[in-house]
Amino acid sequence: NGGDLPSHLNEATQAAVRATAEEAGRALGVVTGNIKGDLVVSDGKPYVIELAARASGGYFCTREIPLNTGVDFIGAIIRIALGEPLNPADLVPQRQTPVVQRYAFPRPGKVISITGEDDARRIPGIEEVAVTVQIGDMIPEPTHSGCTAAMVLATGASVAQARATAQAALNALRIETV
């Protein structure tokens, strides 16, 4: 139902994840460029689920990473693609601002009303509200990420505060179905 930044994993585990992702990227032949990976950690050891030579979607690269770290990840990818020089210091996080992404899963049925989007946007700490359905759309049973109707991104002084802010925004959104 979303994700939280920064990572809750200890530094040793994060280092192991970075090393595993780097090794997997090199195995794909990516020496200079970007990789997107889905990894899981089991018993303290990272395992690669998926790896691709592309940017991550779903606001992760475009909004979450910049909000969390201050790093312009997409700008760096563009500079690399254009063959322009990239200063490695531009990829060093400047901060670790808590960022929380959450999704709305309304009751399955036909959307008859969408209200509260402006109210959600006005909540302090809300960085993004994306309503992805329209009146008349059908909401299916929630079996995968495509069943969502909206997404919110929130920041806060702590992950707990950002979670509460995201929940407040989701509560302000009212997507009614029949």
Q: What is the pLDDT of residues 107-128, one digit of tens each?
A: 999 999 999 999 999 999 999 9
Q: What percent of the chain has pLDDT over 70?
A: 100
pLDDT of res. 58 = 81
The whole-number pLDDT of residue 144 equals 82
> Is pTM, for the whole model, over 0.85?
yes
Q: How confident is the model at residue 7 (pLDDT cuts 50, 70, 90)?
A: very high
pLDDT of residue 147: 83
Tell me if 132 sits within 8 A of 151, measured CB to CB: yes
- Give which of 173, 93, 94 is closest to 126, Cα–Cα: 173
pLDDT digits (tens, 9 = 90+) for 140-155: 998 887 789 999 999 9
Supply the DSSP string of 105-146, one letter for each residue: -PPSEEEEEEE-HHHHHTSTTEEEEEE---TTPEEPPSSSGG
Mean pLDDT of the 13-34 span = 93
What pLDDT is stored for residue 29 in this prediction?
A: 92
